[in-house]
Amino acid sequence: MKTDNRQKLLLVLTIVAATLLVGDKLVYSPLVRLWQSRQQEIRKLRLQVKEGSALVRREQVVRGRWDEMRTNTLPNNPSQAQEKVLKAFEDWARESGVTLNGITPQWKSDTDEYQTLVCRVNAMGTLWMLSRFIFDIEKGPLGLKLESVEINSTDNTGQQLALGLQVSGLVLASQQP
């Protein structure tokens, strides 16, 4: 080959290589990244549509559960709510056989949409009595949530136990008193 032809060939190959490199960096790679990000977004949107469709299919169940939860909230009147909770604790204590040492109610109002009645309950009894008391609170008709549970022994044998509970109940502002 002549030197002149070789230089032309090398020049053409260099231009082709440079064009391919620039095309890869400026066109192909950005398009691949864009395509992959769009595929990921499509997967995410399909998952959201699937979850939304499942929620629409379960609408009656969700609405029924929400209505049940709303009916189990405390009355909108603070004195009625407090009275109802105190009576419920006395009933559960009588049924389980525990001795109530004290109930300290406290109202918390973080928003205009709801209030929370937080009660500190102290009780004494055997392990069986205390577990029955806690079970009654959890399964009772009032929508109460056990925030914390503390159990301590009050004698050397561990037969008598002291229970400290923090329980909260919800009052929705939208409910009629």
Per-residue pLDDT tens digits for 47-77: 999 999 999 999 999 898 888 777 777 888 8
Rounded CA-CA distance 124/99 in Å is 5
Paired tokens of 164: 């400290």
Provide the whole-model pTM.
Answer: 0.62
How many residues are present in the chain?
Answer: 177
Residues 79-92 have pLDDT tens digits of: 888 899 999 999 99
What phi-psi label fits residue 114: left (phi over 0), alpha (psi between -120 and 50 degrees) or beta? beta
Please write the tens of the pLDDT for every residue from 6-45: 888 888 888 888 888 888 888 888 888 989 999 999 999 9
